[in-house]
Structure 1
């Protein structure tokens, strides 16, 4: 399939996003992250909104700048939220989670223990497991990021991130850009996505896989693996 950055290709379940008008002038994936900044400035920063309707379990979270946290959202101890940030209803923020500025979490999202989410947009039901990093990324409805995953979001030379596929290059409009994960797509534990990676709906990236570029919909992606076993002398370890 030809490389695509159309939101219609990656995100058909836009009904699972809390603001229907958000996509009125948005057509490309990278425009979502730009819109998140302007939207949250208008929705939270300018009116100075600081509202937490969630349920705090353990010590109260550290809340900075502007934020909105919806009803039914459970916030465990040692969570840090640096606004502007919008967190919908019935989300789950596990211990030690960090939410950084310009993040939108739709309803029923989850951020695992010790994970960091920076300038991300999650559609409804998207989840990131424990000890993972999602930066400048977009997760479609019910998309999943496994434990220990790193979404690399900047090139070594700090240049503009471009999506590359079979010789074709497309600018993504910023020097910070992580991953686009389509509806119900999954990234397995301890995988790494290179800056600008686009993964189509229903595709699975198997654990320990390093991916880049454009992955079309309904693919299973993994590295060929061979497990080697060989005899070894018994060694008693020191107590």
Structure 2
């Protein structure tokens, strides 16, 4: 069987992160959504997504296919039901398609399908950007069980203080020095060749993915994921960093999501609670206005390749697009369009040639090429988001 992940109806609700990736490649918990599905299914997957992303994230159709809505995370019950799908069958949650069987070239007509309503109590879905951090603790727990069952952790080094060590898993090559790991409220996962420097304090659920570094004296609260090839210091609470991003110095990051290739300057801080304790509103790209989140705590959403200078201050519920460069004193506005350059005093367009120069240097430091394929994706994002830079 050929399995294909599609973006579904929530793609625009997950911007700015889906400007540069399909829904399937969002990281929540330890793994990306795609990695979770491939682990459960035992097969690689391809993607139905926006046309401008399709060269990097291709689509492969065979004679028999099952398409899966990538905003839904897998569970054993759901996967078993999906694997049992036959021709002209679909699984729905109320009026939303979770998965359906499709023959090559078939245009599905759900009115003619045998619809199976999913009645499991294990539905786990990422519909909005804030779901990424607010559901991250539970996602870490699920991924931890999936990745570690039947496996033995590397031994905990001498000098590392732990609580509930049976809830801690260390992959091969990880290096831990005189840190504190408290797994009493949830598991702690340390990825391959990751490093936790001396004096770091960690409270689970927590995931430090492969080749990432937690710097000296860092304070990490529960519900936090640091994606691969990232460096993090200071204070972090209930936040997700997709990967290849740095928050290398002191400063607070809370109830936030950072994409890839981001950098927060020294002593950058974000507010995650309004002074009047009111509900936080976030910029909604589809409505082109600020939408209710239902949350009292909500911090910073920063798209790929965005950067900020030292001592940057982000207000509660700030959305920063792709390839923005923010600097200077004071609070920038709480919606910064993609390819914007400036700060509290105002923004000008960040020209693509300048942005691409930075991206080439940043990516080369990790031995990754800034390819023509990447440039075309960012050029499309530049054009698609131009209307907000003019506002």
Residue 28 (structure 1) shift: 2.2
**2:138 alignment counterpart:** 38
CA distance in structure 2 between the partners assigned to 1:68 and 1:163 by the alignment:
31
Pairwise mapping of residues 43-192 of structure 1 onto structure 2 (< 5 A)? 43-44=143-144, 49-53=167-171, 54-57=174-177, 59=178, 61-65=179-183, 66-112=187-233, 115-163=234-282, 168-192=289-313
Unaligned runs of 5+ in 1: 226-239
SS at match of 1:198: strand
CA distance in structure 1 between the partners assigned to 2:211 and 2:21 by the alignment:
18
Q: Which moved more, 1:30-39 or 1:130-139?
A: 30-39
CA distance in structure 2 between the partners assigned to 1:85 and 1:36 by the alignment:
9
TM-score, structure 1 normalization: 0.81
Unaligned runs of 5+ in 2: 1-10, 37-69, 73-125, 150-165, 347-391
Among 24, 27, 46, the alignment partner of 2:71 is 24
Residue 38 (structure 1) shift: 2.5
Matched residue pairs, number? 218
Q: Is the 8 A contact 2:206 2:222 kept in 1?
A: yes
TM-score, structure 2 normalization: 0.51
Q: Which moved more, 1:93-102 or 1:11-20?
A: 11-20
CA distance in structure 1 between the partners assigned to 2:12 and 2:131 by the alignment:
10
Q: Is the 8 A contact 1:172 1:196 kept in 2?
A: no
Among 323, 331, 334, the alignment partner of 1:202 is 323
Q: Is the 8 A contact 1:13 1:183 kept in 2?
A: no
Q: Is the 8 A contact 1:111 1:129 kept in 2?
A: yes
Residue 16 (structure 1) shift: 7.6
CA distance in structure 2 between the partners assigned to 1:173 and 1:224 by the alignment:
30
Residue 163 (structure 1) shift: 2.4
Task: Pick 1 or 2: higher relative contact order, CA cutoff 8 A, min separation 6.
Answer: 1
CA distance in structure 2 between the partners assigned to 1:44 and 1:158 by the alignment:
34
Q: Is the 8 A contact 2:333 2:344 kept in 1?
A: no
SS at match of 1:108: coil
Residue 217 (structure 1) shift: 0.4
CA deviations 1:154-191 (Å, max 9, x no partner) are 011212111269x9431123100110010011121101
SS at match of 1:180: strand
**2:349 alignment counterpart:** none
When the two chains are superposed, the root-mean-square deviation of aligned CA atoms in Å is 2.7
Q: Which moved more, 1:70-79 or 1:13-22?
A: 13-22
Q: Is the 8 A contact 1:195 1:212 kept in 2?
A: no
